[in-house]
Amino acid sequence: MINRPGKYFPRVVAVLAILLAIGGCALPPMTDRTDSYSVPSEQTADTRLGRAIAPLAQAHPGDSGIVLLENAHDAFVARALLAEGAEATLDVQYYIWQYDITGTMLLDALYRAAERGVRVRLLLDDNGITGLDSALAALNTHPNFEVRLFNPFVVRNPKWIGFLTSFPRLNHRMHNKSFTADNQATIIGGRNIADEYFGAGSGALFADLDVLAIGPVVSELSDDFDRYWSSASAYPAALILPEAAEGDMASVVETARECSASSEASRYVCAVAESALLKNLLEGNLGFIWAPVSMVSDDPAKVLGKKPKNGSMSRQLAEAMGSPEHSITLVSPYFIPTKAGVEIFRSLERKGVHVRILTNSLEANDVAMVHAGYAKYRKPLLEAGVQLFELRKVPGEESVERKLQDNLMGSSSSSLHAKTFAVDGKRLFVGSFNFDPRSVHINTELGFVIESPELTQMMEGHFEEQARITAYEVVLDGSDDLQWIERNGDEEVRYSHDPGTGLFKRMLVSIFSFLPIEHLL
Catalytically active residues, by annotation = 175, 177, 182, 417, 419, 424
Pseudo-torsion of CA 156, 157, 159, 162, nearest 10°? -80
* Residue 421, strand partner residues: 330, 429
Q: For residues 134 and 249, give the distance between their C-alpha atoms in angstroms, rounded to a whole number.
A: 9
| Segment 510-514 long-range contacts (CB within 8 Å, at least 24 positions apart) | 510/372, 511/372, 512/368, 512/369, 512/372, 512/373, 513/372, 513/373, 513/375, 513/376
HSE at residue 337, side-chain half, CA atoms within 13 A, is 25
Residue 40: count other Cβ atoms within 10 Å of its Cβ. Answer: 11
Q: Helices in 376-495 by DSSP H: which ranges? A: 378-383, 398-404, 437, 453-470
* Residue 149, strand partner residues: 124, 235
* Residue 422, strand partner residues: 329, 428
DSSP label at residue 438: I
* Residue 294, strand partner residues: 449
**Contact status, residue 146 vs residue 172, Cβ threshold 8 Å:** no
* Residue 444, strand partner residues: 174
| C-alpha dihedral sign at 237, 241, 244, 249 | negative
Closest CA to 393 of 368, 357, 361, 420: 361
Q: For residues 398 and 269, give the distance between their C-alpha atoms in angstroms, rounded to a whole number.
A: 21
Counting every residue, how long is the chain? 521
**Contact status, residue 322 vs residue 423, Cβ threshold 8 Å:** yes
Diameter over CA atoms, the chain: 86
* Cα-to-chain-centroid distance, residue 460: 21
Q: Which residues contact 268 (CB under 8 A, 6 or more apart)?
A: 101, 102, 199, 200, 201
